[in-house]
């Protein structure tokens, strides 16, 4: 027999829901002004060689910008201006991308382009210790490389670039950092409208890939080991990444900041060495009512993460699920256009449940793909 929720938790849930509705009304007004500002910024294009024509062509891209977050931490990010193609319209809600351990904002370039062409304003961040962002020595505050630091840095980022009063759509992928940010979603739901999770460890059975697991070896035996970012990204995918793409991912780990980037990767893993515990904290946090809607978009050919436990995980936290067959660990690299299309569908969908479906969901305590969540 299902337990009756405590009255205090029910009241808290109602308060969160009311707060979200108020935030949505305010956000809509502000975003109308924000879209007008965004249109004043010209889209960024880059030259790309077209093998079919043998000519260089201009392809929609993103500008690389930087923002000081405080405490000596700077984030670089790729800003994509909405450039709606024929038949598309400008969208009010901006999209923020955040990568996982060992990756960088560059990985979202193609997926961002797809969303820009469909009217979305995008921001893909290089999280602390990655890409072109600062890589401070392990310390306190924003340099702690733990969940509190990652969450605080994202809060500061949204504030600094003027999105803290808007509810953004968030797309996450990979290890550790997405888990940190999901905890932020649960703690600060008013910052986010909807959340998409691309292949990320969520279940108790999910474990670190070899390139990260080395830092969890007992007695500090993995301390100081090099971090193989290219190997991590290459081996988890269904399709091989081109050499020039892998070189971009490798840049932070072979240049002047190589040791700082390596140390940051080690710090993230050692601070979250018990991945099973971290995943449990995330699931527990996301089980609360009144949180942003969540969809998991999953490449089922992932060589690191099994999709079998994800179905129950989604049911337990009332998330929807979208499987991408023959796609590996990085859907945004393997099939960017389709991954973006599934995110866009979710962002634009009316997720209100029908009366009958809502009644059924109350009876079983879960939202299914049949009641508007799918």
> According to the model, what pLDDT value does residue 351 have?
60
Q: Is pLDDT of 31 > 80?
A: no
* Pure H helices in the chain: 7-39, 109-117, 147-160, 177-187, 210-213, 229-235, 243-254, 258-271, 275-286, 310-317, 331-334, 336-348, 355-364
DSSP assignment of 286-323 = HTSSSPPEEEEEEETT-SSS-STTHHHHHHHHT-EEEE
Q: Is pLDDT of 368 > 80?
A: no
Range of lowest pLDDT (88-92, 138-142, 319-323): 88-92
Which comes out higher in pLDDT, residue 354 or 255? Answer: 255
Structure tokens at 37: 């500002």
CA pair distance 265, 215, nearest whole angstrom: 9
User: Contact 140/108 with Cβ under 8 angstroms?
Assistant: no
pLDDT band at 362 (very low <50, low <70, confident <90, very high): very low
> According to the model, what pLDDT value does residue 114 have?
97
Structure tokens at 345: 């569908």
DSSP assignment of 19-81 = HHHHHHHHHHHHHHHHHHHHHTSPPEEEEEEETTTTEEEEEEE-EEEEEEEETTEEEEEEEE-
Dihedral sign computed on CA atoms, order 295, 300, 301, 307: positive
Structure tokens at 296: 């998991």
Closest C-alpha among 275, 126, 120 to residue 206: 275
> According to the model, what pLDDT value does residue 40 have?
53
> According to the model, what pLDDT value does residue 242 have?
92
Work out the average pLDDT over 329-351: 95
Closest C-alpha among 261, 192, 355, 140 to residue 372: 355
CA pair distance 212, 305, nearest whole angstrom: 14
CA pair distance 313, 327, nearest whole angstrom: 20
Average pLDDT, the chain: 86
CA pair distance 278, 284, nearest whole angstrom: 10
Which comes out higher in pLDDT, residue 12 or 217? Answer: 217
pLDDT band at 116 (very low <50, low <70, confident <90, very high): very high
In order of start, what are the domains of the chain with their CATH numbers?
7-364 (3.40.50.1820)
Work out the average pLDDT over 67-93: 95
Q: Residues 282-330: pLDDT tens digits? A: 999 999 999 999 999 999 999 999 999 999 999 999 999 999 999 999 9
> According to the model, what pLDDT value does residue 263 have?
98
Residue carrying the six token digits 């108790």: 204
User: Contact 133/127 with Cβ under 8 angstroms?
Assistant: yes
Work out the average pLDDT over 125-146: 98
Structure tokens at 336: 């960017």
CA pair distance 332, 341, nearest whole angstrom: 11
Q: Is pLDDT of 32 > 80?
A: no
pLDDT band at 1 (very low <50, low <70, confident <90, very high): very low
Angle at 186 between CA 183 and CA 189, to 5 degrees: 130
Task: Give percent above pLDDT 90 in the chain.
Answer: 72
pLDDT band at 48 (very low <50, low <70, confident <90, very high): confident
Q: Is pLDDT of 34 > 90?
A: no
Range of lowest pLDDT (14-23, 34-43, 59-68): 14-23
> According to the model, what pLDDT value does residue 330 have?
97
Contacts of 19 (CB under 8 A, 6+ apart): 190, 290
Range of lowest pLDDT (96-105, 122-131, 232-241): 232-241
> According to the model, what pLDDT value does residue 372 have?
35
């Amino acid at each position: 027999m299902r337990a009756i929720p405590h009255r205090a938790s029910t009241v808290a849930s109602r308060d969160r829901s009311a707060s979200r509705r108020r935030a949505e009304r305010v956000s809509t007004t502000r975003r109308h002004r924000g879209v007008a500002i965004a249109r004043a910024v010209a889209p960024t294009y880059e030259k790309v060689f077209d093998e079919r024509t043998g000519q260089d062509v201009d392809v929609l891209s993103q500008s690389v910008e930087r923002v000081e977050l405080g405490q000596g931490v700077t984030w670089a990010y790729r800003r994509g201006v909405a450039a709606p193609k024929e038949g598309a319209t400008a969208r009010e809600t901006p999209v923020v991308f955040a990568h996982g351990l060992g990756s960088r904002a560059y990985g979202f370039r193609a997926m961002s382009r797809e969303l820009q062409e469909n009217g979305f304003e995008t921001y893909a961040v290089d999280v602390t210790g990655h890409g072109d962002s600062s890589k401070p020595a392990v310390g306190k505050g924003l340099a702690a490389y733990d969940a509190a630091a990652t969450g605080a840095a994202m809060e500061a980022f949204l504030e600094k670039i003027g999105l803290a009063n808007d509810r953004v759509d968030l797309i996450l992928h990979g290890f550790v950092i997405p888990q940190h940010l999901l905890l932020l979603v649960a703690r600060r739901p008013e910052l986010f409208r909807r959340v998409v999770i691309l292949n990320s460890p969520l279940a108790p059975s999910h474990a670190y890939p070899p390139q990260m697991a080395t830092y969890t070896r007992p007695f500090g035996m993995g301390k100081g080991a090099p971090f193989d970012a290219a190997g991590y990204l290459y081996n988890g995918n269904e399709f091989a990444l081109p050499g020039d793409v892998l070189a971009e991912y490798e840049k932070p780990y072979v240049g002047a900041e190589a040791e700082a980037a390596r140390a940051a990767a080690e710090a993230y893993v050692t601070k979250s060495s018990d991945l099973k515990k971290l995943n449990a904290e995330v699931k527990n946090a996301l089980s609360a009512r009144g949180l942003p809607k969540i969809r998991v978009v999953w490449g089922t050919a992932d060589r690191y993460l099994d999709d079998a436990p994800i179905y129950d995980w989604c049911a337990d936290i009332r998330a929807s699920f979208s499987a991408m067959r023959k796609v590996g660990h990085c859907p945004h690299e393997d099939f960017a256009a389709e991954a973006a299309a599934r995110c866009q569908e979710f962002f634009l969908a009316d997720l209100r449940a029908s009366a009958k479906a809502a009644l059924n969901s109350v009876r079983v305590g879960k939202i299914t793909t049949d009641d508007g969540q799918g």
